[in-house]
A and B are shown apart, each in its own frame.
Chain A
């Protein structure tokens, strides 16, 4: 092969036989890479040469000259395909240029989903190549390139097998199998005719060649058969080996015949690297033509520039003000792209891709390059606001602003697929549905919930932990907290969120967060009492959860128990609470914020009843629930402080893959449950404030059970990529909006091991 130094990423692939214009970084020469290919070449060429020299002359005389010709043709075919498989560019993607990825790394999700023939396929962000890998593309670590239609990296040819050279690889295997069979067969024929003088040199050599052929025949034939099956099924080795379509549908197949013809008969795909750069000699000079704006467009423009958002904002803040006694903050500044309509800020490559993504609950992960303390504050804050709903989380200003922004958020029609973690991006109100971080928390520089709209409506789970973390962080009013919290919340979507996983919010905040009530006022009253009450509830819950199997895996479960058992203490909802809870639940577009809202209401009502602290939310029942499966995960990461409050709380690995914001999520969930319980047992035994305080270590605040599953089952289904989500939806549907009379609590176990309590 060409010098190993030139096989570096995307710019100078050494595997293409044609000259390249650019050779990039030189990688260290690794002689071990060439051992298999050298051995393969040696055996192939060497054995065949011996065969031609020692066996074929006699065969051509004895039988026909067609024998060596036939063997020669096959061998030529083998060599040609071997050469092409070895030296052809498999379909390496060039590295994306800087401007394709304007967004900061930490703000972009790790995955994006696209729908291919009705099947959701995930596209992962490649940090080396700086783009979201197209479907079927994979990054080869050996070659350090993203390869299109990546099959595998073959050591025998020392090259990746991808879209461009798969055909040659496949034909190489076929022809090699035929060649080995021919060599072995003719050699056997030779030996059979030379049994008497087997000790002649020719016979010995033939025997040796036969041995080599026989030895290689088994693996080669096996591999050939394997690839015949793959071609017929329209799969790549990568997909087969990683079990991507195990028991599922392969969206890339077109039927056996079309798959085969695609492999063998399609036109040679172009290479992306080393192309002649076309000289662009188009002169672009102002003045530029402008399109005639129609009235519709003008109207759209007005909407787009944030005015509508402002209207929403003011509306919601008014509502908030009515319902809360806290001071409210001025509406957050408009999104950057609205501020400067001429400049595209959010529309990077990924952004537009996200806009197209269907509203499924993809696993949104932030890219590994994560800079804590910066981006996620917005997320945290936004969510915190939602959770606290006007509670002063250590900063009256913050809470009020966040609440209002949250309200607004909930009213947002759509979701921006791109999370915006800008501090300034407090609100995302474009009717275009860019849901951006709402809570403009000043304290932590909360940028509001970043694109919770990651990819559409789904990623509710994302917001939940965020809110939780936001709440946590809110209390401490520090960026740092929120950052931690945000980390946690964001880690929910999928396991691959490595950087977030490692972070936990500071203990202090956690405990504060747990209460989620007017912490300022309460000054962190008795966390123990909520704990106790939650224990009571726990007992209750145990007795009450007949139908749903619980998954007693984690604190989540415990929380459920606790919250469930919070029924007995009577609770006179304070007028304040009622007031807060009486916020008319926006019946508009379901929005996960909205859901949070409702959930908050429920939770808080239940929780408030349990403690003396004024509950934050008192709505007895949720309004129409929009199916927002926001959160699926039962986060397990215990908050530092929570552990003190909840000794029983043990850190569990998030069942749903990796959500790290366990502590904040748990806290949120706990509160939620409490509120729910409170609301469920409407006039009475609402003792749930207590569990709130101990929520720190708790489970994700927004358990899917509270999602308005009934109203949008489709959402839930689509979200069911998360194991618990589907479950939750089912669970939700079983438990009707809880009635004021607190009925028993059902424990529903999500697939991920999260347990949700549902008031029936």
Chain B
């Protein structure tokens, strides 16, 4: 006899709402996100983990945009090879972006998904916002 499952149980919970963390332009156009804790997340996650996530992201982006020797050498090499080096080599920024994607995935798995939240990589939004999806909590006794 087939067990009957509620369709809802089998699916991902519905999206309740989305929070958008905006860019912090106070220091110029460098990629930095606001660490202000949005009120919609108050009931879902503590301030500390959230701020930590955003701060780490900010640091990573700062590292990506850093004008250091590495980026300079990369530029020179690209120039000398008539930019054909871009066909085989990954730029510094892209490397850091990969790091950021791994970090976000890790945070999602460890911190956000257990709380019914999901971070979206801001690169998918053109580095304009960090999108946090809030999932509906339909567990019994959740009181939502």
A and B are interacting partners: yes
State whether A344 touches B19 (Cβ < 8 A): yes
What residues of chain B lie closer than 8 Å to A148, measured between beta carbons? Answer: 126
Partner of A115, one of B26, B40, B65: B26
What residues of chain B lie closer than 8 Å to A99, measured between beta carbons? Answer: 18
Residue A282 lies at the interface, judged by CB distance under 8 Å to chain B? yes
Residue A76 lies at the interface, judged by CB distance under 8 Å to chain B? yes
State whether B19 touches A265 (Cβ < 8 A): no
Q: For this complex, into which size category does the number of interface residues on chain A fall?
A: 35 or more
CB of A211, distance to nearest CB on chain B (Å): 29
State whether B137 touches A286 (Cβ < 8 A): yes
User: What does DSSP make chain B's interface, helix, strand, loop or mixed?
Assistant: mixed
Residue A114 lies at the interface, judged by CB distance under 8 Å to chain B? yes
0/1 per residue, B92-129, Cβ < 8 Å to A? 11100100010001001100011111100101111111
CA distance A149 to B65 in the complex (A): 15
0/1 per residue, A648-688, Cβ < 8 Å to B? 00000000000000000000000000000000000000000
Q: Which residue of A lies closest to B135 (CB)?
A: A284
State whether B75 touches A265 (Cβ < 8 A): yes
CA distance A287 to B144 in the complex (A): 12
Q: Which residue of A lies closest to B86 (CB)?
A: A268
State whether B71 touches A266 (Cβ < 8 A): yes
State whether B71 touches A265 (Cβ < 8 A): yes
User: What does DSSP make chain A's interface, helix, strand, loop or mixed?
Assistant: loop
CB of A448, distance to nearest CB on chain B (Å): 21
Residue B54 lies at the interface, judged by CB distance under 8 Å to chain A? no
Contact A270-B101, Cβ < 8 Å, known A284-B135, A297-B42, A344-B18: no
State whether A288 touches B109 (Cβ < 8 A): no
Contact A272-B25, Cβ < 8 Å, known A267-B92, A286-B137, A288-B44: no
CB of A221, distance to nearest CB on chain B (Å): 22
What residues of chain B lie closer than 8 Å to A288, measured between beta carbons? Answer: 44, 114-116, 135, 137, 139, 142
CA distance A116 to B27 in the complex (A): 6
What residues of chain A lie closer than 8 Å to B139, measured between beta carbons? Answer: 286-288
CB interface residues, A 69-120, toward B, < 8 Å: 76-77, 79-80, 83-84, 93-94, 96-97, 99-100, 114-117
**Interface-lining segment among A131-139, A309-317, A393-401, A528-536:** A131-139
CB interface residues, B 1-53, toward A, < 8 Å: 12-13, 16-29, 34, 36, 38-40, 42-46
State whether A277 touches B124 (Cβ < 8 A): yes
CB interface residues, A 24-71, toward B, < 8 Å: none
Contact A282-B128, Cβ < 8 Å, known A288-B139, A342-B144: no
Instruction: List 10 A-B residue pairs with CB atoms under 8 Å apart, sorted by A's residue number.
Output: A77-B82, A269-B93, A280-B105, A282-B118, A284-B13, A288-B139, A293-B43, A347-B38, A349-B20, A352-B38
Given contacts A115-B25, A341-B43, 7 further A-B contacts (CB under 8 A): A80-B83, A100-B18, A114-B25, A116-B27, A264-B75, A287-B142, A355-B36
Top 6 nearest A-B pairs (CB, nearest first) are A344-B17, A288-B116, A286-B139, A287-B139, A80-B82, A267-B71
